[in-house]
Structures are given as C-alpha cells and as structure tokens.
Amino acid sequence: MSTEDEDLARAIALSLQETSRKPPIVINVDSDEEDDVEEVKFQGELRKAIQASKFESSQHNADSSSVSGTSQPSVDRSQVGTQPSAFLSERAQLEKQRVERLKRLRPEQPRPSSPETNDSENEEPPAKRHQISTSNSSFSRSNVPSVNSSDSVPTIEQVFWKAELRQTATQHAEPRKDGQPTFRLTEVLGKKSDLAFAILSSYALDLPWIYQFFDHTVPVIMVAQPDASGEATIKNVLPNWIRSTPFLRAGRGCQHMKLFYKNGRLRVVVSTANLISYDWRNMENTVWLQDIPLRVKPIPHDPKSPDDFAAAFQRVLYAVNVRPALHPNLPLKAIEELRQKWDWSNVKVQLVSSIAGKHEGWPSVIQTGHPRLMSVVRKLGMRTGEGSHAKDLILECQGSSIGIYTTQWFNEFHWSARGESAESWLDRSKKSRESKPYPPIKIVFPRKVTVQQSAAGEKGGGTIFCRRKQWAVKNFPRTHFYDSKSKGGPVLMHSKMIIAMLQEHQSGNQRRDRQRNQDDSSDDDIQVIEPALGWAYVGSHNFTPSAWGTMSGSSFNPILNISNYELGIVFLLKDKDEMDRVACFQRPPEKYTYKDEPWIQEESAYH
C-alpha cells in the first residue's frame, strides 16, 4: 500500500469515530491567496507536532499491548480520543510562537502575494459577535430569533429556509453605516455541538484557526490548494480531517471556491471569504446561504437530472476531488445523495462555477466559466437579443483583483453576460473581434486615496491587487475604472460582485454620445428599464480572464481555458432600489478622474 493510501485509510478509520450522531453537515469551498514563507514554515512545524503526537500515542499503545499480551490493529480507534489533546497541547505552543513572529513581521496586515488570482492574508483571533438587525427584503429569513453570545458558543441558531445575502461583520464598521445585518463565521457554521460532518475549502488557509470551530470528533474534508505539481491528492492531516486537492495543470491557477453545507437540513453557503480570521474580521466579504430541507422520501438517482442548482452543485464537488474522500459511514455517503435526499425546490438562484482546465466541445464548455453565465442569464429570461430590438447591458464589476484586459476579452465576456452564445461570437473573424471597442463595463476597484483614507489605511490594502505594469499598458481600459467604497463604513472589501443593468437599445450615435458623456462625467448613472430588469452575481470570481476563462477554437469546436476553480450565484434584481440594496459598494460608483490611480499595493511602503 502506498503512503497516500495509508494516509487515506487512516483518515477514514479516524472519521468513523462518533459519526452515528445525526445533526448538521457543513461545506465551505474557497480559494484565492498564496501562503507566505512564515506561514509555510509554521504549517511544517504543525505537521511535525501532529506526527509527534501520533507517534507518542502509538508508542503508548504498543507498551500497553506488550503488557496485556494482545496485538494492536494498524489503526486503533481507541487512540482517536487521545490524539487531539496531545495535538492541541503542541499546537497551543506553536500558535503562541507564530503569533509572536507575526507581530514582529506584520503586526496589523498580511504580506502581499502575487496579484490577480492571489491574495495573502493575516490570521488573527475571531472578532466578537453583535446583535443582528432586520434583513433586507431581497433575501428573506425565517422568524427564528438571534441571540448575542460568544464566537464559540452561539445559543440560538437561525434557520434560513429562504435565501439570505449579507456582508460580513468587520471591526471598523460596527454597526454598519447602512444599517444592514451581517454574518459572522459562527452564524454561518451554526452550533458547534450540532455539526456532524463538514466539507471545507480554502486557498488561504489557517488550519489551526479553523480547527477550533469544530469538535475534534467531527469528520471534515478540507478541499485545499494543490502544491506546485498541481496533482490531485487525498491525505490525512488531523484526527478526523482529510485534505483533498483538485488537479491544476502545471500547478498554475488556484482553487478559489467558497461553500458550506449541513446534514438533517442541508446548509449551502457561497462566500467570498477565506478560512482565515483576517477575512472574517478586517476585510468585508459577502455571504449567501440557504437551508435545504430533507425530502420526505428519497428519490431515485436520475443520471439525466435537470441542469438546476443541485446538478451544478454535484458537478462542482466531483471537480474539486471530494468523491474519493467520501465513504459509507459519513452522513453524506455519495455526491449523488444531494439530489436524492434533499428538496431543492425553494432555491431560486442559479449556480455558476469555473472549473480549471481546458474544456473542448459545447457539452463541456457550456457548463463552466462565462459560457455557464450565458446559459444562466438565458434561464433567467435576461437575454438581451441582437439587432435593432436588442437591449443594452451595463455591467458594474467589483472585486479585489484586476486582470490583464483586452478589448477582445471584454467583449467576449460581455457577449456571454448578454446571454448570447459564444457560437456567434466565434463565428466572427479574429480581426473583427480584436478591433471592437470596449463595451459598457465599469470596473469597480478602490482608488489609492480610498485605501489611504480607510480605517486601516495602507496597511489594510495587502489583499487588493493591481500592478503598475497592468495599469500602464497603452490600451488598458483606464477610463472604465470606478471607485469601490463600502456602504458599511471606512473598510476595504474582499467581495466579488457584478451588478447587471438592462436599458433600452440606443442607436450607434446615441451610444457614442452616451459613452462620450460618461467619459467626461465622474458621477453618471444608468437609467434602468421600468419595471427594472437586471441581475447580480456574487461569488469568488474576480473580473479576470483567469477566473472566467478565455474562448478559442471555432463555433463548431469551441475551446475554453480556465485557470481557477471558482463558484458563485446569479439572481434577478427587480428594480433599481434592489440593485442599490444588494450591491456591496456605494452606487452609483464614482468614476476615476484623470488624476486618479488605483491602489497598487506593491508601491506602498507597508508591502
């Protein structure tokens, strides 16, 4: 048996412990940032501590075996209860040493990593809870009350049979300026004592920090970033914890999804936050969640099941290598059980994922990246159409990382966002696609002065990325940049969001006049069709080719290349008021003046 097989066998044996309980399953599927040298060093020390703990336990049991004259099995489940205490004892000392190192190296802010798909965040103690106010009308919640309590022991857990969308609480915006309710990680996870199983994922990952939110007997599958080889792996990393990594070609790209779920009732969560305390305390993020009830009676598996939320969700779990880590003694025994056992009829949002790799042919291409967005826009009845009766689509794309932009990719993405098939886009000549002007897309990204004036100042801008070499490119769409300001207060955002607005079609001259006016104005607004038509995207996708993919090939045989694993939701917006309420940023966003520049953290003395 190989080392990895032995690790898996050990992990499965450990995860059998106390899985007869029946409360909640939770999932988080995430990624975005690259660990720094100090964190890598710490994780190595952590692994040594775990191995030492296991060795001590095995030696103790071997001695006991010699005295009693009995032999020990290769994996003794009686050891499971003793391992966590030994591990936590070691971890406490390592954590103390690590915190001291972090204070010396970066007292308030994490070191930056590479831009576009990578951020690097600090890990600090969880923030305290606060009283939750009334939710907005867009995503209703149940009438179960919330009660203030400590981070580790919430006394009453809310149930969200209807979807709920909130920003996360941050230490510099308590309470929020806009008065809207927030989520904390403990509210998302629910009662610690109720968790029966979890699937988590993060690229920026503080394993000791997230470990404290779970009972050590709860089996957990952690979907994490692959190493430089990019190979898919399954390994035991903690008692009852299995680490699974998806495949990445040549190790390039990142596993960037965020998601949770629960058993008994199933809780699905799409989040923009990583599993590190910095994301849940200092940076504002966005969380969508919904509780899914069990069916009265399971339904048979249907291999031709409709392309709804559950089907898309199952494809995601297959793609990020969850299936090999499941076994019959877990509450979720097979990915197919998601559709069989739970009732998804109340889920109104559409799931959009990006699966890293090369996708060839329409059956594969249409299920991921911006072509998936195209199909979802059509399902929502938001296709703009072509020709004289077509509607115009205005996009406001907010995020924490800037990509390498061309007019071709802007138009390629805008084409899909209109609900128009890439087939007609690929039918056009390459020269025609490359010569089109930039479409009406606003890139919502913080100005340098906005970061400087935030509560944390420049020290807080270490996970927001735009490079000078991107901004300085001759044909870079600098006139399409708008300031990103939180509605909650003087905080910076790690959220990713798109607000899409339909407006009446205008002639070529009218469009040119409108664009000229926009270029000359710093506070232009879009007049939305009444009744207002629009949609929103919330998830892990930054507005970049790495996240959404790039098209090539032909209309007969399309090819889509994607660097990252991403996940988000799309839902309708009924009117302009709802657009303003759902948006995490102040609307209308303020256009950059000719003197303004984006936040470029590599030029800051703090980074």
258 is in an annotated binding site: yes
Pull the structure tokens for residue 559: 């090819």
Q: CA-to-CA distance for 326 and 434, rounded, in angstroms?
A: 46
Burial 11-47 (b: 16+ CB within 10 A, else e): bbbbbbbbbebebbbbbbbbbbbbbbebbeebbebbe
Return all residues near 113 (Cβ < 8 A) that are at least 6 apart: 33, 34, 36, 119, 120
Pull the structure tokens for residue 568: 């988000």
Q: Which residue has the tokens 């209860």?
A: 81
Amino acid at site 41? K
Q: Measuring CA to CA, which residue among 535, 606, 546, 529 is closest to residue 573? A: 535
Helix (H) or strand (E) holding 10: helix 3-15
Q: Which residue has the tokens 């059980």?
A: 337
333 is in an annotated binding site: no
355 and 562 Cβ atoms separated by less than 8 Å? yes
Per 3-state DSSP, the chain is made up of helix, strand and coil in percentages (nearest 5) of 30, 20, 50
- φ, ψ dihedrals at 579, nearest 5°: -60, -45
Q: Which residues are catalytic?
A: 256, 494
User: Residue 221's beta-bridge partner residues?
Assistant: 199, 242
320 and 201 Cβ atoms separated by less than 8 Å? yes
Burial 297-319 (b: 16+ CB within 10 A, else e): eeeeeeeeeebebbbbbbbbbeb
239 and 80 Cβ atoms separated by less than 8 Å? yes
Distance of CA 115 to the CA centre of its chain: 17
Q: CA-to-CA distance for 449 and 4, rounded, in angstroms?
A: 50
Q: CA-to-CA distance for 605 and 50, rounded, in angstroms?
A: 38
Q: Is 549 helix (H, G, I), strand (E, B) or coil?
A: coil
- The secondary structure of residue 589, as a DSSP letter, is P
Pull the structure tokens for residue 278: 């910095």
Pull the structure tokens for residue 2: 């190989």
User: Residue 561's beta-bridge partner residues?
Assistant: 358, 550
Pull the structure tokens for residue 369: 């990246």
Q: CA-to-CA distance for 350 and 440, rounded, in angstroms?
A: 24
Q: Measuring CA to CA, which residue among 282, 178, 258 is closest to residue 585? A: 178
User: Residue 223's beta-bridge partner residues?
Assistant: 201, 244
Pull the structure tokens for residue 100: 């001291």
- Per residue, the 3-state secondary structure of 386-406, as one string, reads CHHHCCEEEEEEECCECCCCC
Give the residue numbers of the binding site for substrate. Answer: 258, 496
Give the residue numbers of the binding site. Answer: 258, 496
